[in-house]
Amino acid sequence: MGSQVQSECEPAKRSPLLNVIAEVLCMVFDLVKVLSISIPLLTLSVVKILVPSKLKNVRGQTVLITGAGNGLGKAMALEFANRGSNLVIVDVDLEAAERTCAELRRERSVAAHAFRVDVSSYEQVEALVDNVYKNVGPVDVLINNAGVVGFNFLQDADEANINRMIDVNVKSVIWMTKHFLKRMIERKRGHIVSISSLAGIHPLPWATVYSTSKHAVNGFMGALTEQLRLQGHADEIRTSCVNPYYISTRKDITDFLKKPRFGILTTEYTAKCIVEGVLRNEATITVPRFFGLGVKFMQLFPTRVQQVIRDYILREYELNSA
């Protein structure tokens, strides 16, 4: 009898058709809700493109940049110094880091500290964090800039170079971010920037492993941004992922790119665009800006159409032709 009472109390099961209708109605309701929230946000985004937001003040704040002994890292250090920031220059080449610091002190009159660190080493990064916080102070802006470039097809890349590229381009970004993020969360303040590449959103056939490593950086920064939002830290700790076009930072890059369809960027121009994007709290920074829009537009098409664009618009097959 107890079994009979229990069966009488159980709610009647809905038919499969009713379940489908209920799911569809829920999805329609959710879609309407998304549209009602998204339209104002899209409008605001367009306004920000047409009327850029005000740059935040970083005077007196400490900016740490990896791989800043030369090239883009050094150029970004000079840009931040122009805005009154103090710098921590991290590089595997201590002499280059110290030269950058000497120039910053002499020409920009800011505090600058040099540290020799292999950022692909978990232990060295861990020691760096303690050293910086003990001898310099809290870091307000972390810029993961150190990277290794390699132009070759996969079958031509040797194991040592592949491992080094993954260690420096991917692991170092994770190690640096992991250790400094904890301190930033404690302070409820910070900005984490990672220098990726246009090859991180647009696969580059001439650099299979390099492009893979930069896609990893974009994925990591995207996941980190969402993690901070879910944990309630999005308003305290900002993130920026930077995707620049080819930059004239090294001779091997300019030697390889014999016929680029678009002009190679200067380090000074790229650094200025990056710093301004960071100071506007932009989550994604593409240099030049319209390249990012072009890649997103291109990805709307089927693969074969994208290949036609590569052949006739980007002319990637001509990049390394004499």
Query: Catalytic residue numbers?
Result: 210
Structure tokens at 61: 């704040």
Going by C-beta distance under 8 Å and a sequence separation of 6 or more, which residues neighbour residue 174? 220
DSSP-derived letter for residue 266 is P
- The b-or-e profile of 160-189 (16+ CB within 10 A means b, else e) is eebeebbbbbbbbbbbbbebbbebbeeeee
Dihedral of CA 100/103/109/114: which sign? Answer: positive
**Residue 196 burial (CB count, 10 A):** 27
**Cα gap 162→209, rounded to integer Å:** 7
**Cα gap 291→154, rounded to integer Å:** 26
